[in-house]
Chains A and B, each alone.
Chain A
Amino acid sequence: QQKVQQSPESLIVPEGAMTSLNCTFSDSASQYFAWYRQHSGKAPKALMSIFSNGEKEEGRFTIHLNKASLHFSLHIRDSQPSDSALYLCAVSMRPGTGSNRLTFGKGTKFSLIP
């Protein structure tokens, strides 16, 4: 059974800082890797996703995947107050077969120093 773990559990950084959130997964057959962001009491919102090893950048966010290490990460550049939220990583095993259940981590609570 797929296990997804996130680190750290929480993170507090100053505004403008660069930071990294980490996610490890257990099943090497995993095919799809995503980050969601959830503000308190709101819906989880998809941030970025990746299928292949390597990096993808969108604005201040970069996702990096290393399948051999069973690890992917989210890098946030120039942290802003609006980035304060719970960040969830999610993994899917086999897209394209009519079954694309997501397995989530517990989340990293990300805050900016007030």
Chain B
Amino acid sequence: GPKVLQIPSHQIIDMGQMVTLNCDPVSNHLYFYWYKQILGQQMEFLVNFYNGKVMEKSKLFKDQFSVERPDGSYFTLKIQPTALEDSAVYFCASSRDSLNQDTQYFGPGTRLLVL
């Protein structure tokens, strides 16, 4: 089936530094998402992105977070500066459209540890 790739699979970073998480979505998909999962808790929606714009974001999407997809390359989540509470697994997802609640396809996640 369709595959979403995420790079890197693991990242360890010092608090206060910047980190960029990369997502390679399914090739003909137009909607992109980030979800965050803290250890032992459920996966939670962060943001969705379409046509170069943030469509919706949750309260977890702090001012230190930003997303972009320049020129059809990776869809990225940047955190600057990082904080200890940003340690989590970040899942990227993509879907073809949203009109009919098209299936969201997920990547395997990037495990981020902030020290």
Contact = CB atoms under 8 A, between A and B. Distances in A.
Contacts of B98: 95-100
B101 A42 contact: no
Interface SS of A by simple majority: loop
B1 A98 contact: no
B42 A107 contact: yes
Interface in B24-57: 31, 33, 35, 41-45, 48, 50, 55-56
A45 interface: yes
Nearest to B9: A41
Contacts of B107: 43
A104 B106 contact: no
A43 B44 contact: no
Interface string A2-17: 0010000000000000
Nearest to B92: A43
Contacts of B99: 95-96
Contacts of B109: 43
A70 interface: no
Interface residues of B, number: 29
A67 B10 CA distance: 39
Contacts of B95: 100
A46 interface: yes
B55 A98 contact: yes
A104 B42 contact: yes
Nearest to B47: A101
B42 A44 contact: no
20 contacts: A4-B42, A31-B101, A41-B108, A42-B108, A44-B106, A46-B103, A46-B105, A49-B101, A95-B99, A95-B100, A98-B55, A100-B48, A100-B95, A100-B98, A100-B101, A101-B48, A101-B56, A103-B44, A104-B44, A107-B42
Interface of A: 4, 31-32, 34, 36, 41-46, 49, 51, 88, 92, 95-107
Q: Which 5 residue pairs spanning A and B have beta carbons closest together?
A: A95-B101, A101-B45, A32-B101, A43-B108, A99-B56
